[in-house]
Amino acid sequence: MTATDSLFCTIPRKRIVRSNYLAFAILDGFPVTRGHALVIPKRHVEDYFGLSRHELLACDELLRELRQDVMADDATVEGFNIGMNAGAVAGQTIAHCHIHLIPRRAGDVENARGWSSPPDTGQGPLLSQARCLLRRERLVRSPRSFRCGYSREARGVDEQRERA
């Protein structure tokens, strides 16, 4: 897969809710709960293990800012799931690293242990596949879209920090 093939390489700018020099955040198109967001590195990298130290810190910074935003806007949020999948067998459906931040409220699931989501509707994997196809259709590439990679200026900052 090339960088331009990734769904997250051409996110329309209007979907971006927060960003910094190495990463950006969007609201999930198919949220587990209200406020479910994705933090995505600007550089096309397949999974968490390909991120640089600086990209990890940039993603962490956005996770913390998003958490503060959610806590300020919604008093019913009492906790969060932070998660990611690395590889298709682990459930990764888009081969571009992304980190889920899922606000949790008391009683939103029956048993919130582990990576929980609302009860299964019985529609199984076919529904999941349909959701992925719909998501791809909704995020149309456009000239006003974000492109994978990051500016020369940000790249220079990252390289300077790597040398330090």
- Catalytically active residues are 98
Sheet holding 77-83, edge to edge: 16-19, 23-27, 37-41, 99-105, 77-83
- What is the distance between the alpha carbons of residues 38 and 6, in angstroms, rounded to a whole number? 15
Contact 28, 37 (CB under 8 A): yes
Whether 30 and 131 have beta carbons less than 8 Å apart is answered as: yes
Give yes or no for a contact between 90 and 50, defined as CB atoms under 8 angstroms apart: no
